[in-house]
Chains A and B, each alone.
Chain A
Amino acid sequence: MLSLAPAQARDLPEIQRDGVLRHLGIPYAHFVASYQTVNGEVAQGLDVDLMRGFARHIGVEYQYVPATWHTVLGLLTGQAAQMIGERPVLGGPVAIEGDIIANGMTILPGREHLVAFSRPYFPSAVWLVARSDSEMQPIEPSGDTLRDIEAVKAVMAHRTVLAMKSSCLDPNLYQLDQTKAEVILPKQERLLNEMVPAILNRDAESTLLDVPDTLVALEKWPGEIKVIGPVSGMQEMGVAFRHNSPLLREAFNHYLAELIADGSFLKLAEKHFPTVFFFFPEFFEAL
């Protein structure tokens, strides 16, 4: 695999010279889904479509580079890093393997120290999802998200809640330590789309889950899980770049603006998440 030392900035001209855009992705909801074929790892999803289009736009080949939540920031910037809650923790140098992270990454203040985000392109939020046989009952919406969050946190008391560090489901992001919830962190590294199977497997009674994943799960396991209510307000997702690749980031923002202006971005979003407009109409209206 091609690897570069961290000191070598690889911005748009270098990428165009080498002729390949390397897309770092982690399988997640309908943003990135990857599977093995005889020809190697093949990826699909909203972000894969978006990155393929962007690669074509800047006139280079597209390459998918699989990553995990623990390694992805290092593979982009050349310095290992993880998020502990909202705080980035840096590690040693590692080889750079990608030019761009796109897998529905939530824009969090801590992450912005490590990477530069594109303009927001997708909305999200984190909800509490429980097994259908759980005694936890969905809250009655009050019309006010903050009050709904309080109500959900009250329901969590003395219940097991599955969460995952270093991701947007990090319990520290939502001050779960201030509730009486019993937070369970997976023993081994999981993908975000393995959270629901984990609670169906009785690893915990409920789990934190972001909205895109919840929408997928509700269709996949009808009648087996239920949404209790929100744990966060609306969040925004962005595509992440190295701080020293400003030209690449600018080119992407320009490309995204074109897609939004001619309506093809909304078509792309609807293709992968047909119901998302129902929950975040204000985000898409403001795009």
Chain B
Amino acid sequence: MVISRRVSYPFALLLGGMLMISYLLLLLFVAYEGQSRLRAHQDNELTLRVQSYARDLQYVIGRSEKNLRDVAEDKVVYTYFANRALGMSMAYGLGASQHKLSGLLQDNQEGHLREGVPVYSRLAILDVSGQVIADTGQNEGRFVPLPQDILLASSPRRSLLIQPRDQTLLFYQLVPVYRHEQLQAILVAELNPAQLLRLIARKEHQDQASRVQLMTPNGALLAWDSYSTTVDHQREQPIRQEVEIDGQRLEILGWFESLGNRDLFTSNWFIAAISLLAFPVIAGGIVLLRINNNNLVLETRVDLAAQQQQRLAQQNQLLQREVEKRQRSQRQLAYQANHDVLTGLPNRKAGQDALERAIRQARLQDSQVLLMFIDLDNFKHINDTKGHHYGDQLLVQSAGRLRTLMREGDTLARFGGDEFLIILSDVADRGAARGRAEALLRLFDQPFDVDGEAFHVSTSIGMTLYPEDGNDANELIQRSDAALYRVKERGRNGFSFYDAIIDQMARRRLKLDAKLRAAIEQAQLEIHYQPILALEHQQIIGAEALVRWHDPELGPISPAEFIPLAESNGLIHRLGEQVLSTACRQAAEWQALCPLQLSVNVSSVQFHQGERLLAEIRRVLASSALPPQCLTIEVTESLLLGNHKDLNSQLQSLADSGISLAIDDFGTGYSALSYLQAFPFDKLKIDRSFLRHLDRNQADKSLVQAILAMAQALGLQVVAEGIEEAWQGEFLIQHGCQFGQGFYYGRPVPAEAFEAMLRDAPRLSPLPVADAVASRPH
């Protein structure tokens, strides 16, 4: 090691110095050789440049002459001289020709360009006396720049004329105009000085000192001079190029600054700079050698450390990826736990959490929170009739519309089914809340488009304000729901705030719910029976079973109140069962007194049970021993509107077992005649509302007549409801209505009273009922 260091150090120095000197000598030689070749090349290039100026000048002037001859033979020129020869005056006809002639010259001056620069600065036509006929320049009567004698003397062979003027040269081209081989006029073109200067100094630029001059027999034209003083160029030998144009000898002279004087590349400064550069390079070499030796050991250690570090870094990276993966899946899980998969909105739990957060925040800031509970009207109906796919699409689109109304800080959540929650933290008062609710309702004005089918869906909104309407999230949600319930009751597509009345209603509903449950449990509901008569014979042929509820605390409660309640909380099934079995048992007993047709109302909700309902009816008929022919099941039109699948087969099955089917309240709902044919009905019941004003409302009268005629045509029996006066019965008999019921004949009464009524009534012949049964169309 020691020996090699002693030998290598001075040797390396000597070798470095030698190499550096050879390098510098080589550099100088190459620079000198390059310069010599460049100079030869430049001389060559400059000669070619001046030659190209000469060629361009010759070419452009030659082209220009050809163009001028074309102009002289143009039809416009011909027309003018023809019309002039015919003696036409400027006022009557010739003026137009002259106008066109001026236009032709103007077009040529503006349109004949070379590299974007006009070739002509003036065009004129002069008659043989030198008088101007048309001129694109100042019209002075005579063509001033050319003296008359020169103009007329110029032979038609020679077209180029060079005239000195104002210490410069003007170039003219003259072309004769003939008609019928007679000289008519001369076309004179003044070549654009800017174009001439451009042609013979096209490649000159300010960075290089040069001078270009055109020599003519009539004087010199200086085209370019970028020497800093007027005498500089005299040191140089000019490059000369002769050019013959139209028989005239012209010469282009060009002076150019030589290469040596303008190129810094081989100057003395450059050589000195390169020589000085050698010292720092040598010094740098020495320092590098020393550093290199000292660093050998260190480098090995650093290498080892670097390898270790790399391994660590790789492991680190793997670890980091694993952590990221786990974080991602955690985030995804958290998202899934808090969001609804279908709409991507926060779910019920996240909605409740958001509400609680908003309440905490409001408590701190002493502000208000608005909670909107939103429910899509008729969603269930669409879901049932069109399938879940439609329902899902509707929910996704509804969520999209609701989202458009959200501002920063608001929360929109899907609460479940077709219910959404909106939590607004910045609502000032009820007026502002009302505004937001109205805007929300408007979102649903436009129909939804699901698979190309349009649906109109409205919404109902129940609203509560924290802290006015409730203290915690659950209370607010419950009360918003109660407010929503009221909107639904009032006909949907609206909004309502929670208030004391709703509170009362909600309490009463809760109370009724509990009491109804107990009443059904303890069979406290009563069945009353209203007689149905054959109108013509005034004889009872049937009874409609009607459920009545008298609560010891609340008094009598209308079926209009407790039936929908039972439908909504599912009690309707047990209620229906009780009514059916009690009434059937009763009717079976009464058959001994007289043949009696029993009518029982069945709610559309009961039909959702499907086969269970049918089995129940069959079971009750079997256990009561009432013949199926004596039972009429009454359904409302709304059942048919629901149109759930299997309905037709359910109804058909009832009809097949001998039970009669009747449409109740006919004419009040969505009466479609197609129902009457699509389903196996054999009776319809005209709603009481048509009979009320039968005496003075012509429309009602016509409607009742039409229903009766239609029923007759379809072979259906008709029962009129709500007969309260004798004349109503007479009208119905007159128009062929067979059956009726109403206060005029008898109110709904308990079983004992009805039985007494049957006993008191004159004995019926069994014919009408047998008739009715036999005439059922099957």
Residues in A lying within 8 Å of B, measured CB to CB = 127, 132, 137-141, 148, 214-215, 218-219, 222-223, 226-230, 274-275, 278-279
Contact = CB atoms under 8 A, between A and B. Distances in A.
B91 interface: yes
A223 B89 CA distance: 14
B134 to A, nearest CB: 13
B83 A222 contact: yes
A218 B92 contact: no
Contacts of B82: 222-223
B728 interface: no
B96 A141 contact: no
Contacts of A230: 92
Contact of A223 (B83, B87, B93, B94): B83
Contacts of B85: 223
A181 to B, nearest CB: 18
B75 to A, nearest CB: 7
B96 A223 contact: no
B87 A138 contact: yes
Given A132-B86, A223-B82, A226-B87, A274 B92 contact: no
A151 to B, nearest CB: 11
Nearest to B91: A141
A47 B85 CA distance: 34
Contacts of A279: 95-96
17 contacts: A132-B86, A138-B86, A138-B93, A139-B92, A215-B96, A218-B83, A218-B93, A219-B79, A222-B78, A222-B79, A226-B86, A226-B87, A227-B92, A228-B92, A274-B99, A274-B103, A275-B100
Contacts of A132: 86
Contacts of B460: none
B73 to A, nearest CB: 13
A145 to B, nearest CB: 9
Contacts of A226: 83, 86-88, 93
Contacts of A215: 96
A278 B86 contact: no
A137 B79 CA distance: 18
A223 B75 CA distance: 11
B95 A218 contact: no
Nearest to A227: B93
B93 to A, nearest CB: 3
A81 to B, nearest CB: 33
B79 A141 contact: no
B57 to A, nearest CB: 36
Contacts of A214: 93
The main secondary structure of chain B at its interface with chain A is helix
B97 interface: yes
Given A137-B87, A226-B86, A278 B92 contact: no
Top-10 shortest CB links A-B: A223-B82, A227-B93, A222-B79, A226-B86, A275-B96, A141-B91, A227-B92, A138-B87, A275-B99, A278-B99
Interface in B76-134: 78-79, 82-83, 85-97, 99-100, 103
B97 A218 contact: yes
A192 B88 CA distance: 22
Given A218-B79, A222-B82, A223-B83, A140 B89 contact: yes
Interface string B275-318: 00000000000000000000000000000000000000000000
Contacts of B91: 141, 148
Contacts of A137: 87
Nearest to B89: A141
Given A219-B79, A222-B79, A223-B79, A278 B95 contact: yes
A74 B79 CA distance: 41
Nearest to A226: B86
Contacts of A227: 88-89, 92-94
Nearest to B98: A278
Contact of A138 (B75, B88, B103): B88
A219 B82 CA distance: 11
B443 to A, nearest CB: 36
A161 B92 CA distance: 18
Nearest to B78: A222
Contacts of A218: 79, 83, 93, 96-97
Nearest to A130: B86
A230 B89 CA distance: 11
Nearest to A133: B86
Contacts of A275: 95-96, 99-100
B100 A139 contact: no
A228 B93 CA distance: 9
A214 B88 CA distance: 13
Contacts of A141: 89-92
A214 B96 CA distance: 10
A140 B99 CA distance: 20
Nearest to A137: B87
B83 to A, nearest CB: 7
A9 to B, nearest CB: 43
B86 A274 contact: no
A132 B83 CA distance: 9
Most buried by A among B78, B100, B103: B100
A277 to B, nearest CB: 8
B92 A138 contact: yes
Nearest to B97: A218
A227 B75 CA distance: 19
Contacts of A219: 79, 100
Q: Which of B88, B90, B100, B103 has the most CB of A within 10 A?
A: B88
Instruction: Choose among B95, B96, B97 the residue with the greatest number of A CB atoms under 10 Å from its CB.
Output: B96
A218 B95 CA distance: 11
Nearest to B93: A227
A29 B88 CA distance: 21
A7 to B, nearest CB: 45
A226 B94 CA distance: 9
Contacts of B96: 215, 218, 275, 278-279
B774 to A, nearest CB: 66
A138 B95 contact: no
Most chain-B CB neighbours within 10 Å: which of A141, A222, A279? A222
Nearest to B179: A223
Contacts of B83: 218, 222-223, 226
A127 B91 CA distance: 11
A148 B90 CA distance: 13
Interface string B600-639: 0000000000000000000000000000000000000000
A69 B309 CA distance: 105
A223 B82 CA distance: 5
Contacts of B79: 218-219, 222-223
A226 B87 CA distance: 8
Contacts of A138: 86-89, 92-93
Contacts of A139: 89, 92
A227 B83 CA distance: 9
Most buried by A among B85, B93, B97: B93
Nearest to A145: B91
A159 B88 CA distance: 19
A279 B89 CA distance: 12
Nearest to A224: B82
A201 B89 CA distance: 25
A219 B99 CA distance: 12
A120 to B, nearest CB: 21
A148 to B, nearest CB: 8
A226 B85 CA distance: 10
Interface in B523-582: none
Interface in B39-83: 75, 78-79, 82-83
A148 B89 CA distance: 12
Contacts of A148: 91-92
B725 to A, nearest CB: 59
B92 A127 contact: yes
Contacts of A140: 89
B529 to A, nearest CB: 69
Nearest to A142: B91
A3 B88 CA distance: 48
